[in-house]
Structure 1
Amino acid sequence: MKAIIFDFDGTLADTLPICYYAFRCVFKEFDQKNLSPEEIKLMFGPSETGIIRENLFNINKEQAIEMYYKKYFENHSQLVKQNKDIDKLIKHLKNKGIKLGIVTGKARRSLDISLEALQMESFFDVIITGDDVKKPKPNPEGVIKALSVLDVQNDEAVFIGDSDADIHAGVQANVYTAGVRWLCNYRTLEFTTQPNRIFNNVPEFINFINMGVLNES
């Protein structure tokens, strides 16, 4: 195993609350809609800008996008906290010489806000955002692009995510898939596309890595 590629929201950071909050503010302000987290979750796939452009009825979409980022930035520290287990995991993998990547549907702008706030910006060898692909997850385009940048084969990498779209993208890219439910606000209770392995906490995955099980699977 040479590389581990992560989803971001709900996998590397518990950012779903800030995403829900910012979207609720936007749709309340511009469409007078009170959206639930479940309704917002159904829109996931495109980047935040794509979600707003595709789902907002109000014609002032660029203003709505700016409002989303304003709310996301201003409330990030209140709604998103650093996770010591995740920080330990990332540093552990880097120390082992494993290449790290992110493939996320988030736009680059919001991801940069989160990475800086959580002091993660220097750890990743490749970052593919929703701005960098034509087809978001569950399409494997982002995972395949990350593999190419990392210069690793699909049988040398793992893709980790908390949603069906993540696992489906990983399966289509023919990489080992890990479904995770280790943050409070993960997205999938039961995966419809079965990952190779499911992890309910970060120490379990660290032990799995240390045992070299991925190399044998």
Structure 2
Amino acid sequence: MRFITMVDIRKLNSPKETKGKIKGIIFDFDGVLSSFQMRIGWPILNAALMVKPELSRKRIIDTTMVIFDHLTTLEKMPKKTELLKLIFETGKRFGMSNFQALKFIVITSIIYAKNRKRIVPRTGVREVLQELLAQDFIMILLTNSSHGVIKVAKERIPELNRFDLILTRDDLKAIKPSEEGFLKVLELTGLKPEELLSIGDQASDIIASKKVKIRTIATFDEGMEFTKKHLIREKPDFIISDLQEIPELLRFLRDRIIEDIRTTIDLTEKPLQEYLLSDELNVKYTGP
């Protein structure tokens, strides 16, 4: 088994031999491989609607965006008291009274405890991982989730057992948007930043990747399309809506260098071929 954790700190003996430019892929977990909505979003939303059934979709979206913005500032997991305060403030943003916000804390805590390890793989994720594993990419998981969650995830997504490196929040002193995890990836794999791609669904993934000059692919979970503006603000190199687009994008990038990405290549708006035909990308071919 090639699985490495921080318990066994060592470099991979040597990076796998791959023909192209991209040699390794760094995946986030929630919202990329597994549904963010089912494990985290649904408990919060369900609790909010139980306390305040008349909540509008606009208020839910606006409040979610505020929470996401707040999460981009955290480099350590909040303490229990800080988390309770955050849930209370979220309730207030939903327009709840103090009593309703306290009730919201209790219900959210109960529902989340029951769903904390509910892993629902995103559509097509296992097939995508199987295809990438067959191509001998160095496969890395870097997540703010806990080791306990990933232990369960490896049962629902068995391909995780074949990953070369898995780093959870329990393995690091700081979480994304800190760059610590990405620096550890560089140390343990021996790869250069330009040989890696990072795939995430949060601004914190993009921010942390950019700190160490790793190219970024942003994606959003089903039902979370409204987070796109949150992602684009951080200027990822690419943005996609479906993880099943990854193999095609990687086939393109494996033998080419896009030398100057000045604006996000938004593949939710038009396909890559249209960008190429319009000369919007400065592409250098590195194949044989």
TM-score by length of 1: 0.75
Structure showing greater Rg: 2
Q: Are 2:83 and 1:55 equivalent residues in the alignment?
A: yes
Distance (whole Å) between structure 1 residues aligned to residue 250 and residue 242 of structure 2: 13
Distance (whole Å) between structure 2 residues aligned to residue 151 and residue 26 of structure 1: 45
Q: What percent of counterpart residues are identical?
A: 22
Q: Are 2:29 and 1:8 equivalent residues in the alignment?
A: yes
Partner of residue 171, structure 1: 210
Greater shift, 133-142 or 41-50, is seen at 41-50
Partner of residue 212, structure 1: 253
Deviation of the 1:94 alpha carbon: 0.9
Distance (whole Å) between structure 2 residues aligned to residue 203 and residue 18 of structure 1: 21
- Amino acid corresponding to residue 220 of structure 2 in structure 1: R
Counterpart selection for 2:184 from 119, 139, 145: 145
Q: Deviations over 1:56-98 (max 9, x none)?
A: 26xxxxxx9998555424xx26xx25522x1121111111110
Counterpart selection for 2:155 from 107, 110, 116: 116
Distance (whole Å) between structure 1 residues aligned to residue 144 and residue 226 of structure 2: 14
- Amino acid corresponding to residue 72 of structure 1 in structure 2: R
Please list, as runs of the form range in 1=range in 2, the aligned pairs for 1:28-177 lying within 5 A after superposition.
38=64, 41=68, 44=71, 50=78, 52-56=80-84, 68-73=112-117, 76=118, 80-81=120-121, 83-84=123-124, 86-177=125-216
Query: Which stretches in structure 1 are left out of the alignment for 5+ residues?
Result: 58-63
Deviation of the 1:14 alpha carbon: 0.9
TM-score by length of 2: 0.59
Tell whether the 8 Å contact from 1:9 to 1:15 is kept in structure 2 after alignment: yes
Distance (whole Å) between structure 1 residues aligned to residue 245 and residue 226 of structure 2: 19
Count of residues in correspondence between the two structures: 205
SS at match of 1:216: strand
